[in-house]
């Protein structure tokens, strides 16, 4: 543990404050928003393609609403290292070199991200960084990259690695920390692409800034439902400086209805996942662009006061705490700087009304009423007293609401909205 973390932990212990282990080296306090090449282009990438997508991020107004990163994924490298063992970019596809690319991206106001692997080879068979961690960290920094996605393919045999998953990722984490200290430069953001193995949500925060919790996303409802279900049980791992990464935003590639696409974006944004666009922006449609540019949801994803994810308070169709990869929890809430956020997901294949009592959410005060802001229609929808019903939520659709305290509720209502252990002071009226 670095000296400042030890001090922090010791102070917290003395003051009785619970500590969350974080890689609190000052970067990636909030989720990273940007672009990644993998979903739309896989290995068919080159420098011009990356710059074209970056320019589109600007001209389509995506950078202006907060998407400030552009990341290369796999297949940027030459298959062989140089004689001195350094990584080399593909000579044809990245002929101008990586400094040129990151220079152009920085000049456009973007941070630049690169991809590597903790094993012998990347998932597509390019050189991995195992036993080259310090050298490759230095190379990435020399090339001007600000962010590293670090994959999990081609893990060395046990008698070579003699480490578990934590140790394997710690090697690059240490290399990046060391590099930041010796170079006195901003630390490179470290994103673990590890698909949720070995309960990464329990230790990821002490090693990196985000960690994939599930396998690669596909553009269909089943994949979304399964990722949302899995992550619904580990929302507490997400906070400032470290977060569950639900994988890239897989919009605009077909496979999702408009309502499913909205559900996808809403869940990722409100669960405070990184939001990395994986669409070919040359062919993006207005509806997809509109979803990606929902500034009210982006503001909650980027909330600088409340770092936590929304969490389910009721599963709805299923009994609470049921794990069902085709029918995740339906009723969610969480705190935000400007009020309590609610997310309702209609997991059914038909429209349905969705009802909840306000105080089912731990972030709501009993005896108060709340103004309701709809984060998709961008309208103020009156005042909720005691409960709220969203009417005819479409199949696989979503409702996202921001409830703000609007003072005491009207008088004359029943004593308790939820009759669970409610009692009058003298005990004459007792329920629950
Ligand atoms: C893995 C990762 C993907 C992508 C590919 C590249 O599958 O999970 O996100 O980076 O490797 O080969």
> What does the pLDDT look like over 113-137, one tens digit per residue?
999 999 999 999 999 999 999 999 9
137's enclosing H/E stretch is helix 133-142
Count of C-beta atoms within a 10 Å radius of residue 247: 24
For residue 73 and ligand 1, the question of a CB distance below 6 A is answered with yes
Domain boundaries, the chain: 15-301, 311-408
Pocket test for ligand 1, best of 38, 71, 125 (most atoms within 8 A of CB): 38
The CATH number, out of the four listed (2.60.40.1180, 1.20.120.330, 3.40.50.300, 2.60.40.10), of the domain defined by the range 311-408: 2.60.40.1180
Query: Which residues are annotated as catalytic?
Result: 151, 216
pLDDT at 430: 80
In this predicted structure, the answer to whether residue 270 has a pLDDT above a threshold of 50 is: yes
Q: Is the pLDDT of residue 424 over 90?
A: yes
Confidence (pLDDT) at 136:
98
pLDDT at 273: 98
Q: Which atom of ligand 1 is nearest to the CA of 216?
A: 8
pLDDT band at 24 (very low <50, low <70, confident <90, very high): low
Residue with more model confidence, 17 or 248: 248
Which residue has a Cα nearest atom 6 of ligand 1? 74
Whether the model pTM is above 0.85: yes
CB 75 near ligand 1, within 6 Å: no
**What separation in Å is there between the alpha carbon of 276 and the centre of ligand 1?**
13
Per-residue confidence (pLDDT) for residue 7, from 0 to 100? 44
- Mean pLDDT for the stretch of residues 22-49: 93
Of the pLDDT bands very low, low, confident and very high (cuts 50, 70, 90), residue 17 is very low
Q: What is the pLDDT of residue 431?
A: 74
Query: Given a cut of 50, is residue 16 above it in pLDDT?
Result: no
Quote the CA–CA distance of 108 and 25 in Å, as a whole number: 26
Using CA atoms, how far residue 259 sits from 26, 104, 147, 332, 414, in Å, is 37, 36, 32, 18, 37
Please, what is the average pLDDT of the chain? 94
CATH 1.10.10.10 correct for 15-301: no
* 405 Rama sector, left if φ>0, alpha if ψ -120 to 50, beta otherwise: beta
Q: How confident is the model at residue 358 (pLDDT cuts 50, 70, 90)?
A: very high
Statement: residue 12 has pLDDT above 80: no
Q: Which residues contact 84 (CB under 8 A, 6 or more apart)?
A: none
Kindly give the residue spans of alpha helices, DSSP state H, lying in 233-319. Answer: 258-270, 286-292, 295-301
Using pLDDT thresholds of 50, 70 and 90, give the confidence band for residue 356.
very high
Q: What percent of the chain has pLDDT over 70?
A: 94
Q: What integer pLDDT is reported at residue 45 of this predicted model?
A: 98
Confirm or reject: Cβ of 193 under 6 Å from ligand 1: yes
Closest C-alpha to ligand 1, atom 1: 123
* Residue 432 banded pLDDT, cuts 50, 70, 90: low
- What is the atom index within ligand 1 of the atom nearest the CA of 42? 6
What does the pLDDT look like over 323-346, one tens digit per residue? 999 999 999 999 999 999 999 999
Residues 6+ away with beta carbon under 8 Å from 322: 315
- Mean pLDDT for 257-263 is 98
Question: Does the pLDDT of residue 315 top 80, yes or no?
Answer: yes
Q: Ligand 1 pocket: which of 37, 121, 124, 151 to mutate (most atoms <8 Å of CB)?
A: 151
State the DSSP H helix or E strand holding residue 6, giving kind and residue range, or none if neither: helix 3-15
Rounded Cα distance, 261 and 398, in Å: 9
Distance 48 CA to ligand 1 centre (A): 21
């Amino acid at each position: 543990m670095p000296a400042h973390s030890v001090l922090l932990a010791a102070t917290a212990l003395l003051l009785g404050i619970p500590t969350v282990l974080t890689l609190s080296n000052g970067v990636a306090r909030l989720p990273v928003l940007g672009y990644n090449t993998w979903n739309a282009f896989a290995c068919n990438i080159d420098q011009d393609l990356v710059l074209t997508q970056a320019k589109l991020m600007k001209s389509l107004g995506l950078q202006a609403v907060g998407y400030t990163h552009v990341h290369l994924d796999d297949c940027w490298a030459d298959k062989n290292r140089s004689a001195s063992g350094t990584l080399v970019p593909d000579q044809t596809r990245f002929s101008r070199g990586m400094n040129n690319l990151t220079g152009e991206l920085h000049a456009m106001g973007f941070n630049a991200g690169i991809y590597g692997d903790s094993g012998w080879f990347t998932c597509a068979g390019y050189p991995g960084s195992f036993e080259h961690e310090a050298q490759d960290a230095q190379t990435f920094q020399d090339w001007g990259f600000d962010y590293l996605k670090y994959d999990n393919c081609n893990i060395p045999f046990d008698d070579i690695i003699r480490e578990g998953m934590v140790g394997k990722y710690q090697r690059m984490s240490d290399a990046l920390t060391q590099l930041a200290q010796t170079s006195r430069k901003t630390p490179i953001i470290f994103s673990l692409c590890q698909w949720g193995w070995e309960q990464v949500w329990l230790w990821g925060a002490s090693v990196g800034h985000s960690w994939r919790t599930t396998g690669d996303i596909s553009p269909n409802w089943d994949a979304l439902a399964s990722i949302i279900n899995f992550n619904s049980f580990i929302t507490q791992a997400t906070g400032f400086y470290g977060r569950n990464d639900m994988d890239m935003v897989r919009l605009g590639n077909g496979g999702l209805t408009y309502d499913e696409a909205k559900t996808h974006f809403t869940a990722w944004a409100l669960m405070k996942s990184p939001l990395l666009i994986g669409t070919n922006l040359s062919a993006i449609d207005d509806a997809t662009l509109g979803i990606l540019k929902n500034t009210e949801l982006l503001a909650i994803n980027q909330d600088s006061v409340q770092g936590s994810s929304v969490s389910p308070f009721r599963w709805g169709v299923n009994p609470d705490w049921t794990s069902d990869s085709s029918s995740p929890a339906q009723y969610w809430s969480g705190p935000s700087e400007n009020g309590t956020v609610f997310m309702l997901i209609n997991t059914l294949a038909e429209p349905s009304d969705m009802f909840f009592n306000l105080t089912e959410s731990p972030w709501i005060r009993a005896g108060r009423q709340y103004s309701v802001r709809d984060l998709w229609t961008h309208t103020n929808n009156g005042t909720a007293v005691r409960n709220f019903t969203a009417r005819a939520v479409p199949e696989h659709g979503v409702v996202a609401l921001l409830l703000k305290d609007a003072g005491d509720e009207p008088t004359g209502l029943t004593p308790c909205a939820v009759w669970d252990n409610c009692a009058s002071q003298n005990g004459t009226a007792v329920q629950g």
